[in-house]
């Protein structure tokens, strides 16, 4: 799945699969001042003290759920499955066997941040600012003085007919989490990953856009 970043001057925005990568692709099309690179952010940018790196994120389970929708969509489209309800009933077995492949730990920039930057008072490189993905196409645009039209609210779940059908017949997110996701995925998520991301929201690395009025 795609990881890309866009750069304009000393601003860099990282887009990850199921975390704004398609929206940032559109930004590079709509505003040519933003240079798009289909890769993770290189160290030469990470250590540049003049640069600010913005990273939209969302809850790891929400991201994993979105990845599941994409996986099912790809299978259904590839195999030309017509009866989506029948396929899901036969293949989504609530036996706690599903282990998502998508993870923030796979992203080298995220790995670099936790290893070298988080709570490191001696860090002299790029500034990191994480923010909630839901603000990417609105309040974040206002924050960086970008036309919101250039970063569309890109949600393939509501634009792709198979995904609409999948969401209609798939068990609820709560039931999937409880009875479909593997305990070896859920336990680290609940005990380690979710708490540490919540901790991040109380630090200087979090860009709180919730209380900022839309212009």
Residue 182: CB atoms within 10 Å:
13
Residue indicated by tokens 């909630």: 132
Task: Flag residues of the chain having pLDDT under 50.
Answer: 213-215
| pLDDT given at position 213 | 46
pTM of the model: 0.90
Bridge partners, residue 20, by sequence: 16
Pseudo-torsion of CA 113, 51, 151, 106, nearest 10°? -20
Per-residue pLDDT reduced to its tens digit, 100-140: 988 898 899 999 999 999 999 999 999 999 999 999 999 99
């Amino acid at each position: 799945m795609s990881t890309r970043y866009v750069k304009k001057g000393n601003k860099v925005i990282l887009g990850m699969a199921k975390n704004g990568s398609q929206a940032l692709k559109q930004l590079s099309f709509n505003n040519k001042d933003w240079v798009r690179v289909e890769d993770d952010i290189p160290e030469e940018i990470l250590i540049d003290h003049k640069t600010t790196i913005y990273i939209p994120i969302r809850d790891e389970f929400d991201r994993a759920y979105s990845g599941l929708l994409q996986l099912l969509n790809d299978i259904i489209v590839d195999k030309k499955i017509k009866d989506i309800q029948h396929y899901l009933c036969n293949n989504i077995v609530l036996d706690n066997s599903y282990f998502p492949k998508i993870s923030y730990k796979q992203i080298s920039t995220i790995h670099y941040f936790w290893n070298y930057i988080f709570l490191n008072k001696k860090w002299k490189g790029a500034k990191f600012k994480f923010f909630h993905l839901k603000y990417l196409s609105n309040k974040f645009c206002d924050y960086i003085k970008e036309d919101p039209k250039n970063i569309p609210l890109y949600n393939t779940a509501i634009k792709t007919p198979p995904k609409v059908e999948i969401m209609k017949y798939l068990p609820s997110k709560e039931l999937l989490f409880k009875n479909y996701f593997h305990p070896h995925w859920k336990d680290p998520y609940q005990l380690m990953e979710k708490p540490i991301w919540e901790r991040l929201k109380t630090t200087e690395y979090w860009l709180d856009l919730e209380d900022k009025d839309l212009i």
